[in-house]
Structure 1
């Protein structure tokens, strides 16, 4: 991939992540943004755009870190199937942690674990759909790596919001997650188009 395509990938991912985060952030707290007049709305949108842009940069670093890890793991395990099984185990471990550890850390006496299941499961289902799309556009070996990146890596990038009690609210969790999930989806589905190939794991 040449420099022009790298620049396109960087700025398109930044714009998509920042825009999606700004839109969701404003819609989730619309009254606050429109109650202070037009200048309050403009500066509020710019502020949310900036926060979302910073979060999308985290997503980009996470993607290239995973690509490096993926190649390193293939060389280490010497087997695509073994590395895929390792990723599947890690995916299940992350799913369990995302539900149970947040419940233990933040649940009040009145809350049940059911309230901490919905968001992780919605994220997991979405990641499965994106991974299936990646498989359709490339090859069958791409499904597990794509699912691992979309779910496990996105969750790791989401950790700052998940572990800070002051942002452990549905609104702020979505504000943090939206730039991550849109940026990661875009990166995953655009890379093979830019490179003219596919994320093959059998090399």
Structure 2
């Protein structure tokens, strides 16, 4: 992928994270922000949105760091295990392990007389989003992309989410989760398109150089 499309990926992912955080922030903390809308305080609404948009940019940077780290880890995994099937099996085990810990450890640490249902529901939501994204990725590319995509959407998202998971503030849980999911899914699904675009741009530049070289050769022949 050329530098132009790398910058495009970075900037558009920033935008996805910022906008998602701005929208989800109002929804997650609606009890606090509802009076702003009922009173039509546009200045306060705009300043609040800008603040949440800025926080979303930070979430987006975390997401992008996680994505490029996973691309590196994926290559190492393929190199170490020497088999796609074996590496996929390892990833499935890690997915199950992380989802179990996401439910069990949070329940043991934070539950105060409440049931396990809410903790289980959050992990299931993460899994469902991961399955849907992985399915779309598989349709875009091939069957081999399903497990890596699911691993990224579940395991890597959970690792990126750890700072808020440790605090267990419900508003911040959703405020960070949705921008991370949006950014991770966006990067996962847009990468192949940007790679194809980079190839087309490279081929176009090569053809232009070849045509320019041919024209230059013809001009030299005419001069002689």
Compare CA radii of gyration and give the structure with the larger one.
Answer: 2
Greater fraction helix: 2
1:68 partnered with 2:107:
no
Cα separation, 2, equivalents of 1:73 and 1:28: 38
Partner of 2:107: 103
Query: How far 1:71 sits from its partner (Å)?
Result: 0.5
More displaced stretch, 25-34 vs 114-123: 25-34
> 5+ unaligned residues in a row in structure 2: which ranges?
198-224
RMSD value, Cα: 1.3
Q: Structure 1: how far apart are the matches of 2:97 and 2:146? A: 18
Match of 2:91 among 60, 74, 87: 87
Q: For 2:152 and 2:129, locate their aligned partners in 1 and report how far apart those are by CA, in whole Å.
A: 12
Q: Which residues of structure 1 form unaligned runs of 5+?
A: 198-203
Match of 1:174 in 2: 174
From 29, 38, 43, give the equivalent of 1:39.
43
Residue 155 of structure 2 corresponds to residue 145 of structure 1: no
Q: Give aligned pairs, total.
A: 193
State the TM-score, normalized to the length of structure 2.
Answer: 0.83
- Which consecutive aligned stretches of 4+ in structure 1 deviate over 6 angstroms post-superposition? none
CA distance in 1, matches of 2:115, 2:30: 29
Distance 2:154 2:31 in 1: 32
Judged with a 3 Å threshold, the aligned counterparts in structure 2 of structure 1 residues 14 and 115 are, in CA distance, closer, same or farther, namely: same
Structure 1 residue 73 displacement after superposition: 1.1
TM-score, normalised relative to structure 1? 0.91
